[in-house]
Amino acid sequence: GQQVMQIPQYQHVQEGEDFTTYCNSSTTLSNIQWYKQRPGGHPVFLIQLVKSGEVKKQKRLTFQFGEAKKNSSLHITATQTTDVGTYFCAGPQGSGYSTLTFGKGTMLLVSP
């Protein structure tokens, strides 16, 4: 079945440093979504990318969808302690839109 892999599993940065997490799918995706889960919390939707090569920005967060629609990345510029959490990518399971296969996530720790 479809697999969604994320690297790294864990990253610890100093506040102000940049951070990037990468997501790779075993199959071509119709779209990819990113979620953030704070410690003790629940996943919260950040963004969806649909088009090949698409780049979207949310303040200090930059999301990219690969040309082949099999990989994606999330880059955070100048991390802050509020960025702490686990970042998940998720892709549709099968041909439908509805069900999502989540990556294992990248846990980000930011030290002040």
Binding site for another protein (CB under 8 A): 31, 33, 35, 41-45, 48, 50, 88, 90, 92-93, 97-105
Nearer to another protein, 5 or 78 (CB): 5
> What's the min distance (Å) between Cβ of 99 and another protein?
5
Residue whose C-alpha is closest to residue 26's, from 105, 88, 107, 93? 93
Distances (CA, A) of 48 to 5, 34, 58, 60, 62: 17, 7, 12, 16, 12
Distance from C-alpha of 23 to C-alpha of 10, rounded to nearest angstrom: 13
- Which tokens hold the place of 67? 């040309």
> What's the min distance (Å) between Cβ of 61 and another protein?
16
Nearer to another protein, 18 or 102 (CB): 102
Nearer to another protein, 2 or 80 (CB): 2
- Cα torsion 45, 63, 73, 24 to 10°: value is 60
Nearer to another protein, 40 or 112 (CB): 40
> What's the min distance (Å) between Cβ of 63 and another protein?
14
> What's the min distance (Å) between Cβ of 12 and another protein?
17
Residue whose C-alpha is closest to residue 47's, from 61, 67, 66? 61
